[in-house]
Structure 1
Amino acid sequence: MWNKHTQNLQTCLSSIEVSGNDCCPDGCDEAFSVWKGMTEELRKQGKIIYLIGNGASASMASHFSADLAKNAHVHTQVFTDLALITALANDISYDQVFVEPLKRRLTADDMLVAISSSGNSPNVVNACSLAADTGASVITLSAMSAENKLRSMGDINFWLPAETYGMAETGHACILHYWMDSVSFPPA
């Protein structure tokens, strides 16, 4: 059973598809190189990487926000404060919990990293639309259906043909670790 699971994960990761705004026709290696360059430029300018997601994807957003700040010396921001999320959900709408704070903070020089296993979470999709309209860079990580909304919304889109949340979340963590490791400074 374990070997089958790891084989499924390897198959899923090796079947990743990358798309974007005329970016990365040569696939993953080029996409990661472009993403690394975007991140290094953002770091040099002192701009911000916003990371968003729901549930386990929110946990990943928080985890990688902390690791990027610590290891890559990048300014990061997540919206995981329970008071903020519940106030916005109650007073406005849950599909706006990321849009509302981004309206007040996001600039055209920033980056939004959107993580969604289904690729159809309205709050994540709405945030990507706002970021694109603002002119910020948008990176998406999605899975499940090949026709999910998020898959075509970013400057770089990583899609995994995962059929379960566990496989999608594990694959997304692998993508995020690979990116973070590429922009991190070696330990002192």
Structure 2
Amino acid sequence: METNYYSAYIDQQKTTLDSIPLHKVRQIAELLREAWTHNRQLFVFGNGGSAANASHFMTDLGKGASDALGKRFRCLSLNDNTAWITALGNDYSYDDVFLGQLQNYAQPNDLVLTMSVSGNSPNLVKAIDWANANGLTTIALVGGKKGKLAEIAQEVVVVDSEHYGRVEDAHMTICHMLCYQFMEQGN
């Protein structure tokens, strides 16, 4: 492979990053600050690479941002309990793996954030529908296809690309901005 491929990939990644609507990221930061102030929970989840991003985000927010602020974020990645996910998937449906956990943990006014490149994953849509119906604030980070999540989530950040790797990288950049804002600027 020629180095032109890599150079073009980087150029396209820069274009994808430039598409992040920073005013929407700021709105999500305000929702996180409000949740932190009022001791509300944040639940984050996704599939595949977005599942890994959810776990990484909660590690940075739960440890790094919490350490910097001196007060803990109450946050949880719903991707991290394999036994629960497989029990819900086996006994009910894979569409219920996040919904089932929210039904146990979530309270009105808590935050739910999901990440999806397609915006159409049935398990994410079902969890966001339930969260909306039960008084939670819902946030979706999606790709250029937008999908159903962009229609139903209360706050939506669209990254203007349909390339899975670039969108997942941009979503993680958003998550890092959210965490590092608290780590570097305080509350």
TM class by smaller structure? 0.7 to 0.9
Cα deviations by residue, 1:89-143 (Å, 9 ceiling, x for unpaired): 0100000100011012111221111011111110011111111111111110111
**Would you say how many aligned residue pairs link Structure 1 and Structure 2?**
175
Q: 1:14 aligns with which of 12, 15, 18?
A: 18
Deviation of 1:2 after TM superposition, in Å, equals 2.1
Moved over 6 A (4+): none
Matches within 5 A, 1:145-156: 145-146=145-146, 148-156=147-155
Deviation of 1:83 (Å): 0.9
Q: Match for 2:170: what amino acid?
A: G
Aligned to 1:143: 143
SS of residue in 2 equivalent to 1:184? helix
5+ residue gaps, structure 1, are: 17-27
Segment of structure 1 superposing worse, 45-54 or 149-158: 149-158
Distance 2:104 2:170 in 1: 32
Report the structure, 1 or 2, having the larger helix content. Answer: 2
Please provide the CA RMSD for this pair: 1.7
Q: Name the TM-score, length of structure 2 as normaliser.
A: 0.87
- Any unmatched runs of 5+ in structure 2? 67-72
CA contact (8 A) 1:71 1:185 kept: no
Q: How far is the alpha carbon of 1:59 from its aligned partner?
A: 0.8
Query: Residue 88 of structure 1 contacts residue 96 of structure 1 at CA under 8 Å; is this kept in 2?
Result: yes
In the aligned structure 1, how far is the partner of 2:28 from the partner of 2:144?
23
Question: For the Cα contact (< 8 Å) 2:117–2:145, is it kept in 1?
Answer: no
Is the contact made by 1:141 and 1:158 (CA closer than 8 Å) also made in structure 2? yes
Aligned equivalent of 1:166: 165
Question: Which residues of 2 match residues 96-111 of structure 1 at below 5 A?
Answer: 96-111=96-111
In 2: Cα distance, 1:120 partner to 1:69 partner: 28
Q: Does residue 75 in structure 1 map to residue 74 in structure 2?
A: yes
Superposed displacement of residue 12, structure 1: 1.6
Are the aligned partners of 1:128 and 1:138 in contact in 2 as well (CA < 8 Å)? yes
Instruction: Among all aligned residue pairs of Structure 1 and Structure 2, give the percentage whose two residues are the same amino acid.
Output: 31
Aligned counterpart in structure 1 of residue 23 of structure 2, from 30, 53, 60: 30
1:175 has 2:179 as partner: no
Query: Which is further off, 30-39 or 85-94?
Result: 30-39
Deviation at 1:144, TM superposition (A): 4.2
In the aligned structure 2, how far is the partner of 1:29 from the partner of 1:55? 25
Alignment check: 8 A CA contact 2:25 2:174 kept: no
Q: Specify the alignment match of 1:124 in structure 2.
A: 124
1: CA distance, partners of 2:119 / 2:27: 22
